[in-house]
């Protein structure tokens, strides 16, 4: 049973960047789409973008275009999400989630434990 393990808590200054990693444990991501979803305190989740490793496809929500970059390292089954020009509104828990197949329309069935990112001066 694959698990998704994310990197640890981050505290960042406004204007800086943060990179969060997401690694498959007990399996690979190769035949699955992977999405990044964030959840601000007391809010519903928000889809940020995703990657389909087998096709090399990258997709970003318009809201985050130009600020978010998703990359992959297939040799280690790790996906990275970098968010730049951080502001206080980016304070949230960031989740990596695996889709049930190699297209985004498959629902997200396995979620990482979440990475808390706090942006504060």
Partner 1 sequence: QSALTQPASVSGSPGQSITISCTGTTNDVGSYNHVSWYQQHPGKAPKVMIFEVSNRPSGVSNRFSGSKSGNTASLTISGLQAEDGADYYCSSYTNTSTLWVFGGGTQLTVL
Q: Give contact residues for partner 1 (rule: CB under 8 A).
A: 35, 37, 43-47, 50, 59-63, 65, 95, 100, 104-109, 111-114
Beta pairing class for 68-73 and 78-83: antiparallel
Residue 93 contacts residue 39 (beta carbons within 8 Å): yes
User: What does the CA dihedral 54, 113, 46, 121 come to, rounded to 10 degrees?
Assistant: -120
Q: How far is the CB of 24 from partner 1 (least distance, A)?
A: 15
Rounded CA-CA distance 3/72 in Å is 17
CB of 89 to partner 1, least distance (A): 14
What the block records as the tokens of 80 is 């990275």
Closer residue to partner 1 (CB): 88 or 113: 113
CB of 45 to partner 1, least distance (A): 5
Nearer to partner 1, 10 or 46 (CB): 46
């Amino acid at each position: 049973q694959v698990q998704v393990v994310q990197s640890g808590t981050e505290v960042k200054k406004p204007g800086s960047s943060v990179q969060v990693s997401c690694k498959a444990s007990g399996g690979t991501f190769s035949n699955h789409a992977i999405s990044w979803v964030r959840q601000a305190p007391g809010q519903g989740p928000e889809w940020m973008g995703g990657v389909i490793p087998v096709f090399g496809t990258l997709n970003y929500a318009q809201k985050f275009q130009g600020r978010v970059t998703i990359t992959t390292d297939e040799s280690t089954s790790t996906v990275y999400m970098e968010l730049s020009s951080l502001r206080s509104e980016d304070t949230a828990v960031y989740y990596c989630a695996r889709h049930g197949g190699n297209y985004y329309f498959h629902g997200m069935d396995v979620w990482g434990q979440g990475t808390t990112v706090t942006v504060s001066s």
